[in-house]
A and B are shown apart, each in its own frame.
Chain A
C-alpha cells in the first residue's frame, strides 16, 4: 500500500517539499495503521507462522509460471504486518521524515537525490512488509542501487570506494540468499493453490483448513502428481514443514548432505551470512565504517537506523522462521557472533578519532545485542532484540544527525579537534549528552531496556532451553561498560573544558542548533525517553508475536531436528 502511494511522487519535480510531504503523509498513514492494529484481547492475531495472524494483509497474484512437468510457480504480491514488523514500520516512517528534513542541506542535483530517496524509502518499507520471498528479495536488492548512487554521488571524499564496497559486500550477501531462495521454492508448495490444481477444490476461496490438511497428508504420502503441485515463494508456507515435497532438496526428511552437514543447516548458514553482512556482524562488518563516513548525513541516518534493521529483520523473518532447526543447532554460533560484535565493535569505537567512525563501530556493537537476543530464542531475548532494533534505530539516527550538525558547520569530524563546545553550543550539548547517555544504556532511556532484556534472555537461555552458555551474557554485559567508556570520553574531550578548535576559522561558524535541526532532533529524543520510561508501549505490540515466534522456532525446530537425525 505504501508502494502505490510513493511511486507517483518519485516522478515529481518539487524536490524537497514533495519528499517531506510524502514522508509525513506516510508517517500519518503508519500512525493510523498502528491505531487500528489489534494487540489486546484473547484472540490476538499473532502472525509469524500463520497467514491469518497477519493484519492489513494484501494479497494479489503477481506472477504465475508454468514449469511444465514440475508444476507451477506462484509469486504473490503478499504484504502484511505482525508484531515483528509493526515496530519497524513505525521506526521507518519516523526516521524517513527526519531524514527528509535532514536532506534539506543537500544542494546539488536535488531532483536526482530526492527521486533516489523516495525509491529507497519505498524499498525499505517494502522489505518490512513483504511476506513473499520473491517480493522481499526484490525490495532487498532494490535497496542497493539507490544507496550506491546516494553514497557515490553525494558522499564525502572517498565516496567511490565506499559505495562500491557497500554494493559488492551486500550483493555477495544477496547471492547467498538467492541460492537458498531458488532451493526453497523448488521444495515448497502452496497447499491452497495445489488443492485447486489437483482437484481438491474448485476455486481458491473454497479451500478450507480440512482440505489443506488433506493436501498436506497426500503430499507426504506422495499421492499428488508433480504436474499438479504449485510451488510458492510464500514465506508463511515455507515455515510449515508439511508443505515440503517429500524427498525434495530442502525437505527435512530428505537425506541430502552437503559438506558433511544436512542441506537445511547449510541453507540456514547461507542465509545467516547473507543477512549478517547487512546487519553487519563481525567479521562481515568492514563495509560499514567506510559507507558511514563517506555517506551524506541523511543517508548515514537511513543506513544506520533502517538498513541495518532490514538485515536483523531478515534474520528473524527468514532463516530463523524457515529453518528453525538451524536456529537451535547454531544458537552458539549466532550467540558468539553477537558477543564478538559487541566487544569488538566497542573496542574499535574506543580507538576511533573520527566521530562518524566511532558511531559506526558503536552500531556494530549495538547490533551485536540483537544477534545475542535472537540466539537465546527466549521470550525476553527476542522481545529485547526487537526492542533493541527499534531503540538503536532512534539512537543511531540521533547520533548521526548530531555528527552531521558539526560536520555541516566545519567539515571536520575529528574528535581531538574540538574542545569545550558546551560553552558555545549549549542546546547542542544537552542533546548530545542525553543521546550519549541513552546509547550507553542508562536506565530511563530506550537503550537500557533493549540491552537489559537481551542480556536477561541470554542469561536465562541456559536454564530455559540450554541454547546459550551463561558466560555469553556476562561477556556481552562487558560491552555496555566499554560503551560507557567511549561515550563519556568523547563527551569529556569534545564538550567540556575551555572552548578551542584546531582550525581558528571554525571559531565563529560554530553556532548553536537552528529550528530545523531542533525539529529533527527533539522528536527522537522524546521518543527514546518515552520508550525508555514506558517500554510497554512497544512490548504490547511485539510480545504476542515474539511469544509465537519463540514457540514456533522451538517446536518446529525440534520436529525438524528429529527428522533430520533419522
Chain B
C-alpha cells in the first residue's frame, strides 16, 4: 500500500490505467466536442449535432464491445489506485448504457414534440456526460467514487428532466432534485458510518468485510440501510420511487425512456457490487448483514406499490412510470437470489427491458402526437385505424406483462428460475413467498397493461376522424425494437450465450 503514495508510482498507475478507460475518454471528448461545436456554430449546428452524437456513441459502443472480449479473467482489474475496477461483467452494463444512449438520440431525432422545443447542443452534451457518469458508477470500487459518480449522474439527470421547458418540466426537475438530494444525503451518512467502522472505502476487498466482522449488528444494519437509499433512488425502488411519476410526466419522452433503463441498471449494478461480496467471499459462513432479507422487503414493497399504483392510472406515461417501479421490483426479485444465476437473470432482464421500454415510450410519443394526449381513454378505436401501431402496442404490452411469445416471458422465467434455485439451495421459505407473490403480481400487471390495447381495439371511437399514419422512420424504429423481443423469445440462446460467457467473480 505504501508505494501507492509515491507520486511517481501513482503517475505510472494513472498512465497504465488510461488504456482501460478508452470508452470513457471517448465520451468525455465527445462531450467537449459537442459543447465547442455548439458554442462556435450555434445557429447552423443544431441540425447536425444529434448526428454527431449518434456517430460518437456508435464509436463508443464499438469500443465497449471490444472491451467485452478483452477482460475475460475472473480477477477484477483495478485502475487508478483501486478507485475503479473493470471486468467483463461491468462492461456488459456499459454496453447496455451505450445502446440506450444510441436509442435515445435516435428517438430524439424522431420525436416530434421535441423538435418543437428547439433542443440545443447542451441537451446532447448532457446526455453524453450522463453516460460517462453511468460508466464510472458501475466501475467504482470505492465508496467515494460511488458517491461522486452517482451525484454526477444525478446532476445530469436533473438538467435533462427539465428540458421540456414548461411548467411540468420545471416541477419535475425540482422534485427530482429535492428527492435526489435527500436520498444522496442519507446515503452519504451511511457511507460515513461504514468508513467509521472500517477506516476504508474499498468495499470490494475482503479486508473491508473482515473489518465489519466485529461491529455490532444493529448499527451495521442501520448503516447498510442508509447507504442503500441512494441506490434505491436510482433504481426507483419503493420507498424511494416517489419522484418517478412526476419526472416521467414532466420530462421529454426520450429522456424518460433513457431514465427508465440506464440509471436503473447502474443502480442495480452498484447494489450488486456492494452487497454481493458479503455473500461471496472466502468467509462463506459469515454474513454480517442479511442483505437478502432487507432486499426481500424492498422488492416486495416495490412490486406491490408499482403494480397497485399503476392499476389506477389512465395517463400512459404515469402508468409506465409505475410499471417501471414494478419492473424494478422484478429485477430485485432476481437479485435477491444472491447467486450467479440471479445476476445473469438480471442482466437478461435489463437487455430485454431496454427494448421493451424504448418501444413503449416511442408509442407514448406517437400517441401524444396523434391524439394530443397521454390519456389511454382517448385511444378509442385507434387500433383498427392504424393497425401497425395497434399490433406493436399489443406486442409491447404483452412483453411488459411477461407473456409468451415475447422475450418478456423469458426474462421473467429466468428471474423466477433464479429465485427458485435459491430457494431449493437454501430452503428459506421467504424466497418461496416472494416467488409466489411475484408471479401473482404478473396477473395484476396484465390488468393495467391491457388498458391501452383495450381502448384501442375494444372500444369504438365516438366521432369519426381521420388519423394520419405514422411515418416510415418511426415504423423502422418500432420494428428495430420489437423484432428482437419476439426473436429473443424463440431464440433466447443468442442473448443467453453471450451473458453466459461473462465471468463473474462472485
Which single member of A66, A138, A145 contacts B496 (CB below 8 Å)? Answer: A66
B439 A249 Cβ-Cβ under 8 A: no
A171 within 8 A of B: yes
B443 A171 Cβ-Cβ under 8 A: yes
Residue of A nearest to B414 (CB): A65
A179 B443 Cβ-Cβ under 8 A: no
A153 B341 Cβ-Cβ under 8 A: no
30 A-B residue contacts at CB 8 Å? Answer: A62-B490, A63-B491, A65-B492, A65-B493, A65-B496, A66-B497, A66-B500, A68-B340, A68-B500, A109-B384, A141-B404, A141-B409, A142-B404, A145-B398, A149-B458, A153-B457, A159-B458, A160-B454, A160-B458, A167-B446, A167-B450, A168-B446, A168-B447, A171-B403, A171-B446, A175-B440, A186-B417, A186-B420, A248-B424, A256-B427
The answer to whether A63 and B443 touch (CB under 8 A), given A68-B341, A137-B404, is: no
Question: Can you list, as one digit per residue, whether each of B455-473 has a CB less than 8 Å from chain A (1) or not (0)?
Answer: 0011100000000000000
Residue of B nearest to A231 (CB): B417
Q: How many residues of A contact B (CB 8 A)?
A: 39
Chain B binding surface, main DSSP class: helix
B403 A152 Cβ-Cβ under 8 A: no
Question: In the complex, what distance in Å separates the CA atom of A145 from the CA atom of B454?
Answer: 12
Query: Which 4 pairs across A and B sit closest by C-beta, in order of nearness?
Result: A152-B458, A138-B404, A66-B500, A175-B439
Chain A residues, Cβ within 8 Å of B398: 145
Question: Can you list, as one digit per residue, whether each of A110-129 has a CB less than 8 Å from chain B (1) or not (0)?
Answer: 00100000000000000000
Chain A residues, Cβ within 8 Å of B243: none
A466 within 8 A of B: no
A172 within 8 A of B: yes
Residue of B nearest to A159 (CB): B458
Residue of A nearest to B501 (CB): A66
The answer to whether A182 and B454 touch (CB under 8 A), given A137-B404, A175-B440, is: no
A182 B404 Cβ-Cβ under 8 A: no
Q: How large is the interface on B (under 10, 10 to 19, 20 to 34, 35 or more residues)?
A: 35 or more
Question: Can you list, as one digit per residue, whether each of B419-455 has a CB less than 8 Å from chain A (1) or not (0)?
Answer: 0110110010000100110011011001100100010
Which single member of A69, A153, A175, A178 contacts B458 (CB below 8 Å)? Answer: A153
A residues bordering B, Cβ < 8 Å?
Answer: 62-70, 109, 112, 137-138, 141-142, 144-145, 148-149, 152-153, 159-160, 163-164, 167-168, 171-172, 175, 178-179, 182-183, 186, 248-249, 256, 258
Question: In the complex, what distance in Å separates the CA atom of A141 from the CA atom of B403?
Answer: 7
Residue of B nearest to A145 (CB): B398
Question: In the complex, what distance in Å separates the CA atom of A178 from the CA atom of B432?
Answer: 14
A149 B457 Cβ-Cβ under 8 A: yes
A152 B457 Cβ-Cβ under 8 A: yes
Chain A residues, Cβ within 8 Å of B500: 65-66, 68
B493 A63 Cβ-Cβ under 8 A: yes
Which single member of B417, B458, B492 contacts A63 (CB below 8 Å)? Answer: B492
Which single member of A62, A64, A65, A182 contacts B416 (CB below 8 Å)? Answer: A182
A179 B497 Cβ-Cβ under 8 A: no
Question: In the complex, what distance in Å separates the CA atom of A458 from the CA atom of B47?
Answer: 79
Question: In the complex, what distance in Å separates the CA atom of A153 from the CA atom of B454?
Answer: 9
A164 B424 Cβ-Cβ under 8 A: no
B446 A182 Cβ-Cβ under 8 A: no
The answer to whether A182 and B443 touch (CB under 8 A), given A70-B341, A138-B405, A160-B458, is: no
Question: In the complex, what distance in Å separates the CA atom of A164 from the CA atom of B450?
Answer: 9
List 8 extra interface pairs beyond A145-B403, A164-B450, A175-B440, CB under 8 A.
A141-B404, A159-B458, A164-B454, A167-B446, A168-B446, A168-B447, A183-B420, A258-B432
B413 within 8 A of A: yes
Minimum Cβ distance to chain A for residue B293 (Å): 21
Question: In the complex, what distance in Å separates the CA atom of A112 from the CA atom of B280?
Answer: 53
The answer to whether A178 and B496 touch (CB under 8 A), given A138-B405, A153-B457, A163-B458, is: no
Minimum Cβ distance to chain A for residue B459 (Å): 8
B417 A249 Cβ-Cβ under 8 A: no
B420 A182 Cβ-Cβ under 8 A: yes
Minimum Cβ distance to chain B for residue A177 (Å): 11
Tell me which of A64, A109, A175 has the highest count of chain B C-beta atoms within 10 A of its own C-beta: A175
B372-419 interface with A by 8 A CB criterion = 384, 387, 394, 398, 403-405, 409, 413, 416-417
B327 within 8 A of A: no
B344 within 8 A of A: yes
B457 A69 Cβ-Cβ under 8 A: no
Residue of B nearest to A175 (CB): B439
Residue of B nearest to A254 (CB): B424
Residue of A nearest to B403 (CB): A141
Question: In the complex, what distance in Å separates the CA atom of A68 from the CA atom of B500?
Answer: 7
Minimum Cβ distance to chain A for residue B493 (Å): 6
A178 B446 Cβ-Cβ under 8 A: no
Which single member of B387, B416, B443, B457 contacts A172 (CB below 8 Å)? Answer: B443
Question: Can you list, as one digit per residue, whether each of B472-506 has a CB less than 8 Å from chain A (1) or not (0)?
Answer: 00000000000000000011110011001000000
Minimum Cβ distance to chain A for residue B266 (Å): 24
Chain A residues, Cβ within 8 Å of B420: 182-183, 186, 249
Question: In the complex, what distance in Å separates the CA atom of A304 from the CA atom of B414?
Answer: 34
Chain B residues, Cβ within 8 Å of A62: 490
Question: In the complex, what distance in Å separates the CA atom of A66 from the CA atom of B502?
Answer: 12
Question: In the complex, what distance in Å separates the CA atom of A493 from the CA atom of B411?
Answer: 56
Minimum Cβ distance to chain A for residue B182 (Å): 37
B492 A69 Cβ-Cβ under 8 A: no
Question: In the complex, what distance in Å separates the CA atom of A149 from the CA atom of B390?
Answer: 12
A249 B424 Cβ-Cβ under 8 A: yes
Question: In the complex, what distance in Å separates the CA atom of A67 from the CA atom of B436?
Answer: 22
Chain B residues, Cβ within 8 Å of A159: 458
Chain B residues, Cβ within 8 Å of A144: 403
Chain B residues, Cβ within 8 Å of A109: 384
Chain A residues, Cβ within 8 Å of B493: 63-65
Minimum Cβ distance to chain B for residue A397 (Å): 26
Chain B residues, Cβ within 8 Å of A160: 454, 458-459
Question: In the complex, what distance in Å separates the CA atom of A75 from the CA atom of B66?
Answer: 32
Chain A residues, Cβ within 8 Å of B442: 171, 175
Minimum Cβ distance to chain A for residue B394 (Å): 8
Question: In the complex, what distance in Å separates the CA atom of A163 from the CA atom of B457?
Answer: 12
Minimum Cβ distance to chain A for residue B339 (Å): 9
Tell me which of B394, B424, B443, B500 has the highest count of chain A C-beta atoms within 10 A of its own C-beta: B424
Chain B residues, Cβ within 8 Å of A70: 341, 421
Chain B residues, Cβ within 8 Å of A68: 340-341, 344, 500
Question: In the complex, what distance in Å separates the CA atom of A186 from the CA atom of B420?
Answer: 8
Minimum Cβ distance to chain B for residue A10 (Å): 12
Question: In the complex, what distance in Å separates the CA atom of A145 from the CA atom of B496?
Answer: 27
Minimum Cβ distance to chain A for residue B422 (Å): 11
